[in-house]
Structure 1
């Protein structure tokens, strides 16, 4: 029924447990409605409520100035050419530690190992060594991220009148997880703050600020409206934690789904061999070192990742917004005004599985976005390219995912390293995701792997 409404360009209402009646927009109206200004259709408050940030991070300074998003949108994206060697080194290290170097076959848990590899690679850029290779730190960061997303999902199912009762429980649990993670990160942050202050005050100081997200966060704090408050070690540590929260799980989720998708296809189609050869050629032409040019040549890998993201959206309804204009808004094919404080969402799963948009939409076609006859002419729609039929990274415009360029970099090198270094046993059937309310969670799957050399 939702698909029929969407095809007819008719919005419809879904009663949701976590946010009440939600208006679902058809694909044809995404551009017009989601392009409305923020004082008409808001994004910040609904995102904060979805993650219950005022319970998870109750410090008002963290939400008053969202410095970490500036870091992701600006410094992280601008420095991608510089950080490629670090990402490659940490992914290589992560695979060796999590999957091993034995040439005999063995079983590994996909989600657990993938999450550790991705977390290590991300923190190679976020804060560098020794934390990026500290497995206790990485696991504690993971535990915090899992806690806040699961906790927020559960809390949103309660009536708002009960939030004052159950919200403090989420604060208590997430605060405990935060404290465990910051036992590792706080000494590093405190040392960096001292070094930065000395570097700024002493022209002859020999220490130079590293190019990592922790330093960029500190730099943003110095230029903030209230630098004395923002430069508190705990707040800087919390911003580092928050950057991990919003990036770690989503990237690992995509990496796991790629593995399950590509290794549940028919082996006789030769998809893995084609992708492996592309990775081999790109790395060989770059003298065995990943460079911006080499990563850019992974066009078929890019397509295969995009297709996996199409097949595995984070939920059935995603990208919520809230009507904040006092007079509400009007949309096409809807007789009444959508009132203030109403949630709006997009039927992402229905759009991604629409056969009129994607032929044979329920089939994983890794080269759907890069047909082989177009390969040499580079006619490939990259994963970071957004439109109203591919919503994995949001909608085009200001509120598209700011970290998508970094995420794609991680994923490309992850896939290349995995295919070049490991053989993976094919699955008889593609395991299904776990649905919980609107969200899709990764199944706990084991696969057989062995080192290729």
Structure 2
């Protein structure tokens, strides 16, 4: 019965979508036109999504265009003014959660429970961010230990980068999320890595089907229930122990209470969420965001360090000076302006998807330039094209490692060009109230990872003339090259 209700709901949504598409006639199309042509365009979008978005970005500057998906259109909007319109819009008009539901198929991939009460977002935004400094020594310790385990360097070793980076990031992240010893349990680490990969892969697979088939396909191919069952086995003893401590002391605060994500979630959870299964879903979902974002960014940064040895010494000098002054602390990370600039620039050049700030239009919406979109429409910003537009970035295709730190020298610009600071011309983390809530943790963890790498290892590609390994694109998404290897050599 529930499947039939879902199918019926999706059929109604499909009808609404087709009706809404008639109202998009004023917005120009990229790709083949006509009923059958749009399906050819949707197929082309699977492999040429970035090129189609770039075509629309430069053909309609400051305006909008649409590209076809399998069962609907997506409208891209161009330029800082339209980005500001999205940033200022209310959730009643432009909804971020509804967009995640459609693009990531979160009902099937991560569970409906997460949408009924999204308190874990507030936990990430507040408690996680607030405790970065207090837990920084643990972050550094886990980075050091995981590198020793994953990169056993003697006289030098070639490393297949991405899988090892994901294992290091999963361990480091979960040191803060679930603590020792669980963060070092191989099965727990692999659960979270594999779930992260499967969420994105299954979402893309589900999105290949028309709306009325998604409930059936989603249930058949969701990684959620099998993953949650195994993950709960690891978390349930910890949750039961902490609930027992609360009962023993009659309070949510008790002696030697762990300062981690499990505790922060229990502090804010309602009575119906204070159980092992609900907490398992939330910890898995937070891991998806944390592992994916940081692993991709660290891999790209590592590739650039291997490809551009001339910038290593300057970064290494800054890192060494800051750590000598302030130790391995959050405060030291905050002083590393050149490293911050390098990381932001590598993401601008190589780490940005073709789309960002995706929203679902819940009420007919008119942008400040007069562009109108009907309810039911998905909209996005053309982020890759924005980040490579010479109107906003001089020599935009060049990776200039200190581009942003040089900007911060100017009076009043010290905060504006930080990696964590969203702006209308840099939308890596989104903008407005829906800017990535975990970006402060992600950037500090990323700085610590790269700092440890710089001070501990020399890295290079076997073929230095080959330059950066080519990134891989699917639809509007990008990932760093999954097959590249890098030589690690321990510094003396």
Q: TM-score, normalised by structure 1?
A: 0.90
Indicate yes or no: 2:277 matched with 1:237: no
- The SS at the match of 2:433 is coil
Q: Which moved more, 1:151-160 or 1:173-182?
A: 173-182
5+ long unaligned stretches in structure 1: none
Name the structure 1 match of 2:145: 93
Name the structure 1 match of 2:480: 442
d(CA) in 2 for partners of 1:423 and 1:334?
54
Indicate yes or no: 2:453 matched with 1:418: yes
d(CA) in 2 for partners of 1:72 and 1:375?
32
Q: 1:183 aligns with which of 218, 233, 250?
A: 233
Question: Cα deviation per residue 1:366-412 (whole Å; 9 max; x = unaligned)?
Answer: 111012993999846210011111111101x2111110000011001
Name the structure 1 match of 2:301: 258
Name the structure 2 match of 1:290: 328
d(CA) in 1 for partners of 2:251 and 2:418?
45
Q: 2:263 aligns with which of 206, 215, 219?
A: 215
Q: 2:311 aligns with which of 257, 271, 286?
A: 271
Name the structure 2 match of 1:309: 347
d(CA) in 2 for partners of 1:188 and 1:263?
41
- The SS at the match of 1:410 is helix
Name the structure 2 match of 1:32: 85
Q: 1:77 aligns with which of 121, 129, 132?
A: 129
d(CA) in 2 for partners of 1:435 and 1:57?
24
After TM superposition, the runs of 4+ consecutive aligned structure 1 residues lying more than 6 A away are: 375-378
Q: 1:196, 1:209 within 8 Å by CA — same for their partners in 2?
A: no
1:334–1:377 distance in 2 versus 1, CA, 3 Å:
closer
Question: Cα offset for 1:322?
Answer: 1.1
- The SS at the match of 1:250 is helix
Task: Pick the structure with more helix per residue.
Answer: 2
1:202–1:368 distance in 2 versus 1, CA, 3 Å:
closer
d(CA) in 2 for partners of 1:196 and 1:372?
50
d(CA) in 2 for partners of 1:114 and 1:368?
26
Question: Cα offset for 1:20?
Answer: 2.0
Question: Cα deviation per residue 1:93-124 (whole Å; 9 max; x = unaligned)?
Answer: 11111112x34111111111111111111111
5+ long unaligned stretches in structure 2: 1-54
Name the structure 1 match of 2:15: none
Q: 1:103, 1:451 within 8 Å by CA — same for their partners in 2?
A: yes
- The SS at the match of 1:243 is helix
Question: Cα offset for 1:230?
Answer: 0.9
Q: 2:300, 2:351 within 8 Å by CA — same for their partners in 1?
A: no
- The SS at the match of 1:430 is coil
d(CA) in 2 for partners of 1:6 and 1:119?
41
d(CA) in 1 for partners of 2:92 and 2:407?
45
Name the structure 2 match of 1:280: 320
d(CA) in 1 for partners of 2:182 and 2:478?
30
d(CA) in 2 for partners of 1:322 and 1:59?
18
d(CA) in 2 for partners of 1:148 and 1:373?
38
Q: 2:74, 2:377 within 8 Å by CA — same for their partners in 1?
A: yes
Equivalent residue pairs, number: 432
Question: Cα offset for 1:87?
Answer: 1.0
Q: TM-score, normalised by structure 2?
A: 0.83
Q: 1:433, 1:442 within 8 Å by CA — same for their partners in 2?
A: yes
Q: 1:156 aligns with which of 194, 197, 207?
A: 207
Indicate yes or no: 2:383 matched with 1:348: yes
1:377–1:387 distance in 2 versus 1, CA, 3 Å:
closer
d(CA) in 2 for partners of 1:391 and 1:398?
13
Question: Cα deviation per residue 1:238-278 (whole Å; 9 max; x = unaligned)?
Answer: 2111111121111110000111123223x3xx210000111
Name the structure 1 match of 2:365: 329
Considering only aligned residues, what root-mean-square deviation do their CA atoms show, in Å?
2.2
